[in-house]
Amino acid sequence: MSALVLDGKTLAAQTEADLLARVEQLKVRSGGKTPILATILVGDDPASATYVRMKGNACRRVGMESLAVELPTSTTTETLLAKIQELNANPDVHGILLQHPVPEQIDERACFDAIALEKDVDGVTCLGFGRMAMGEDAYGCATPQGIMRILEHYGIDIEGKHAVVVGRSPILGKPMAMMLLQKNATVTICHSRTRDLPGLVAQADILVGAVGRPEFIKAEWVKPGAVVVDAGYHPGGVGDIELEPLAEKASAYTPVPGGVGPMTINTLILQSVMSGEKSLG
């Protein structure tokens, strides 16, 4: 039987239509104000500049505004921290996005953690992570939160399932594992020092690939009927999992492209609107 395609592209487009209406209603209620996402780009990495531009465009598509802050490559930790504090104190700013990675002289963790919890719409602070892991209110880290939204949208059963997450990065694997645990999955986290990765992947009812290597996880490792989520995206349009043979073997899977990818920016924008709604009424 063909696997269900977990179509993030369509879900993101539907969410944008919904957000456009929510921003319009918020404008009426608040005397013309819209949520504002501040984006901070440090340096001139072209890929980062493209991501920031895409985020600004997504804001405009839902009727929100964005405030683009651009700082030179030579920026110090102190200068960046001061800018973040300024944005924290600005009542017109409802969300702050610091584009990763920042130049190496900057203490990125300190700068992420300086973002006020209520403006951490990208879910990057330690405080937000800790609260999320404890089941308290916090905006989820955008990519794993986007994955949870896809699973929820398609009614994928999580409770009691064995979820295997391959990767433990702060922005993906770790928060992903905590989110699945919150939904009562039994979670195994794999990383570069894990022994017998194929054996662990074979136990997964829900498999999340977040390794950063093209088609590193092989289709033959995957249990028939598993739900397969591929967070990777590499040149040539492949992810971290060998997906093609899984279209018949898995019960559901996220395609690459068009699965997880579109949900990341979409979740950032959704959480910015939520923050705007909280502060503007």
Residues that bind ligand NAP (CB under 6 A): 143, 166-169, 171-173, 190-194, 197, 210-212, 231-233, 240, 260-261, 264
Q: Which of 120, 122, 230, 240 is catalytic?
A: 122
Q: Which is nearer to ligand NAP, 104 or 137 (CB)?
A: 104
**Catalytic annotation on 44?**
no
- Kindly state the smallest distance separating residue 208's Cβ from ligand NAP, in Å: 10
Tell how strand 162-166 and strand 95-98 pair up.
unpaired
**Which three-class secondary structure state does DSSP give residue 146?**
helix
Task: Name which of 232 and 276 has its Cβ closer to ligand NAP.
Answer: 232
- Rounded to whole angstroms, how far apart are CA atoms 142 and 94? 16
In 3D, which of 66, 65, 62 has the Cα closest to residue 12?
A: 62
Nearest approach in angstroms of CB 95 to ligand NAP is 17
Contacts 24+ apart (CB under 8 A), 131-136: 132/175, 132/178, 132/179, 132/182, 133/175, 133/178, 133/181, 133/182, 135/182
Q: How far is CA 210 from CA 86, 217, 279, in A?
A: 34, 10, 34
User: Minimum distance between the CB of residue 102 and ligand NAP, rounded to whole angstroms?
Assistant: 15
Catalytic entry in 83, 99, 119, 145: 99
Residue whose CB is less far from ligand NAP, 56 or 261: 261
Task: State the nearest-atom distance from the C-beta of 265 to ligand NAP, in Å.
Answer: 7
Catalytic sites, residue numbers? 55, 99, 122
